[in-house]
Structures are given as structure tokens and as C-alpha cells.
Amino acid sequence: MSLESNNGISIQKVETSKIASVDFENLKFGSVFTDHMLVCHYKDGKWGQVEIKPYGPMSFAPSTNVFHYGQAIFEGMKAYKDANEDVWLFRPRENWARFNKSAERMAMPHIDEERFVDGLKALINLDRDWVKQGEGNALYIRPFMIGTHEGVVAGPSSEFMFCIICSPARTYYSGKVKVQIAEHYSRAANGGVGYTKCSGNYAGQFYPTKLAQEAGYQQVIWTDDATHTKLEEAGTMNVFFRIGDTLITAPTSERILDGVTRKSLLDIAKSKGINVEVKSIVVQDLIDAHAKGELKEIFGAGTAVTVGQIEGFAFQEKYYQLPEVSDDNSFAIQLKTGLQGIQQKKIEDTFGWTEKI
């Protein structure tokens, strides 16, 4: 292994890359990781040196904070390779800022932009062969932070580990999904942690999602915890509705995560002249619009799939199927094509969202 230093980042390279053993045509999302990872430790009130080293297992004492009190947050973002072999990140500083928002709420330290963004760029640069060109290909990037203090005292950790791992990903068209509108369970509550990407938000969703799946739906549309009438998110994605020719999504709040895909789609929609309304929408609005034939599309928005189309929803034991909308007339498809075109550098990025590595 060779040790190099670059901008104060220590780099320890693998002896042999495992890339030759990876079948890039048949990738299962999030199951293969690149040769290297980034690690940085927080101790005595400050972050230490950023280290890039071979991806591999880590060892922690059984009493480590994260195993008991769950101080854990993460981010999800992607890198793309264009036709000139240049590698691009999409709005990475949005993820950095949101990471710190999550950190704040979970009583974890902020991390500086240099360690997060410059460290990330050094890591991707080293593993750039893992970013493949072409439609649907990307490198999924997973920054995360955990409390690493040892001892089972119920209190915030005084030591933390920041880490970034990367996984080559291909987005396939996975078809439209059927969703169930939540009437009992909640993903988030006022005063809670719904707006953060803390790991526990996901753990709490698995059980109600499993129940929905057993009833024949792939995902849950989360409603507000107080009345279960306001439509807030779809699974782990923000959610959009098209009624007539108006695109509607709920405003972000303490309960709704401020998605980078959501805000990018809103800007793209406006630039295409689509009428956009950011307002709270309730189940009855949806049912009324469906009855009048005005409810045309519902879709989720998030980094992993960009846009995930929904074909129908269930509410109080009744299922409502959406009409067929051709790809040419679909807001979901137009917006997805617009966003992916910018990300893959096929459409000019007039918003200044892409950053070259």
C-alpha cells in the first residue's frame, strides 16, 4: 500500500483494485463498494485528519454510543461521468449543509466544508474509474456520521466518526408503484426529527412499510401525525401531485425533508413554464380531483431514483387508480429527463448545479 498526502488528506491506496471483479451491467443498488473510503474522527472538540484508505470492516467496542442511543446521520448523493470522461457532482454543498442541519438536531458536531467537499472530491478522484458513463449510470455516495464514544451512559457522544463510502449504481426503470396513504403510523411529528436524515427515521419506517407491502402496496404515503390528512412524503422521497396542469408539492417543514431533488424539480418545472404550487394538500383534495378526472400524476422525488412514478393509491380500504398518461404528456417524465440531462451533462446546466471533480 502506498501512502500519499494531498491537501492535508492522507491517502493509503489499495494494492490491487477489485474493479475487474465487478459486473457493472448487473448491479444491485447499494451492494458493491469502491476500493476506498474516507474516514475522519472527532475528539477533544475537534475534527482530525481526513484519511482515505481501503474500504473494509471497522471494529468498535460493544458499548459504543451508536449501538445504544443511535446518534447516526447520513447523506445520499451521486457523481456522474460525462462523454469527455469528466466526473461531476450534483449540488454537493446542499448535501453538506443538510448534513450539518441533521448533525445539529442530533447533538452531533458540524463538519467543515473543506473536510466534507474537498475530502469527497479526493475520494471520488481516486475511485474515478468506478464512475461509468452512460444513461442511468452513476456513483452513489454515502457520507455518514456516528457517535463513537464508549460507555452506556445515556448522553450525547463526545467522539464521532465521519465516513464516506461509494457504490456504483444503475437506475433501471422499475415501473410504477402502488401506495397506501398512512392512517395510523407516522414518519415524523412536530418538534421531532423528520427533517433530518437520521438513521432512526428509516428504522421507524420499516414496519409500517412492511404492513403496506403485505397488503399489496410497495410504499406508504406519509401524512401529518396530528390529523393523518395532509400528504407529506412518499416512502423516503418527497412527493408531487399533478392536478389538471398544476404541479403541487407540500412546503418543507419540521416533518418534511428538504430534498435536493424536490427543489431542483421545482426549479426545472418553473423553467419549463409548468404551473407550480408549493402548498399543503389533503387526502380529500386528491379524492375529489380523482373523481373529476383531474388527478393525472403522483410521483416521488429523491436521489436514488430521481423520479418514481405512482400508479394509484389506497385510502380507507379503497383503491384509486390514476389514468394512463403518455410519456410525452407526463410531467414526471419531462422533469426526470430534464434533471438527469443536467446531471449527466447532456443538457446545459443553466442553474450552476454541477461541480467538476
Ligand X SMILES: *Cc1c(COP(=O)(O)O)cnc(C)c1O
Question: Is residue 225 close enough to count as binding ligand X by CB under 6 A?
Answer: no
State the minimum distance, in angstroms, from the CB of residue 43 to ligand X.
28
Task: Give whichever of 35 and 224 is closer to ligand X, judged by the CB atom.
Answer: 224
CA neighbours closer than 13 Å in the CB half-sphere of residue 272? 21
Question: Scanning residues 102 to 121, which ones bind ligand X (CB under 6 A)?
Answer: none
Among 259, 309, 340, 342, binds ligand X (CB under 6 A): 259
Task: Give whichever of 149 and 262 is closer to ligand X, judged by the CB atom.
Answer: 262
- CB–CB of 161/145 below 8 Å? yes
State the minimum distance, in angstroms, from the CB of residue 329 to ligand X.
24
Among 38, 138, 181, 237, binds ligand X (CB under 6 A): 237
State the minimum distance, in angstroms, from the CB of residue 126 to ligand X.
24
Lookup: cell for 156: 450525547
State the minimum distance, in angstroms, from the CB of residue 265 to ligand X.
9
Task: Give whichever of 64 and 264 is closer to ligand X, judged by the CB atom.
Answer: 264
**Closest to 305 (Cα-Cα) out of 165, 143, 212, 177:** 177
- Could you give the string, one character per residue 159-198, with x where binding to ligand X holds by CB under 6 A and - elsewhere? --------------------------------------x-
Rounded distance between C-alpha atoms, residue 165 and residue 178, angstroms: 32
Question: Is residue 340 close enough to count as binding ligand X by CB under 6 A?
Answer: no
Question: Is residue 260 close enough to count as binding ligand X by CB under 6 A?
Answer: yes
What SS3 state is found at 258?
Answer: coil
- CB–CB of 56/15 below 8 Å? no
Among 148, 199, 238, 344, binds ligand X (CB under 6 A): 238
Q: How far is CA 119 from CA 50, 64, 76, 163, in A?
A: 7, 25, 16, 10
Question: Is residue 147 close enough to count as binding ligand X by CB under 6 A?
Answer: no
Q: At residue 96, what is the residue type?
A: W
Q: Which residues contact 41 (CB under 8 A, 6 or more apart)?
A: 47, 48, 148, 159, 160, 161, 162
Task: Give whichever of 109 and 194 is closer to ligand X, judged by the CB atom.
Answer: 194
Among 257, 268, 276, 310, binds ligand X (CB under 6 A): 257
Phi, psi of 114 (to 5 degrees): -65, -50
Q: Which residues contact 207 (CB under 8 A, 6 or more apart)?
A: 185
User: How many CB atoms within 10 Å of residue 25?
Assistant: 7
Rounded distance between C-alpha atoms, residue 100 and residue 106, angstroms: 10
Question: Is residue 261 close enough to count as binding ligand X by CB under 6 A?
Answer: yes
Task: Give whichever of 202 and 320 is closer to ligand X, judged by the CB atom.
Answer: 202
Rounded distance between C-alpha atoms, residue 133 and residue 87, angstroms: 9
Of 129-137, 163-171, 300-308, 342-350, which part binds ligand X (CB under 6 A)?
300-308
Q: How many residues does the chain have?
A: 357
- CB–CB of 9/164 below 8 Å? no
Of 99-107, 282-290, 296-304, 317-325, which part binds ligand X (CB under 6 A)?
296-304
Question: Is residue 233 close enough to count as binding ligand X by CB under 6 A?
Answer: yes
- Could you give the string, one character per residue 66-85, with x where binding to ligand X holds by CB under 6 A and - elsewhere? ----------x---------
Task: Give whichever of 42 and 88 is closer to ligand X, judged by the CB atom.
Answer: 88
Task: Give whichever of 77 and 283 is closer to ligand X, judged by the CB atom.
Answer: 77
The position carrying cell 395510523 is: 184
| Partner residues linked to 242 by β-bridges | 247, 297
User: How many CB atoms within 10 Å of residue 200?
Assistant: 15
- Please count the residues of this chain forming the interface with ligand X, following the rule CB under 6 A: 14
Chain residues binding ligand X by CB under 6 A are 76, 197, 233, 236-238, 257, 259-262, 301-303
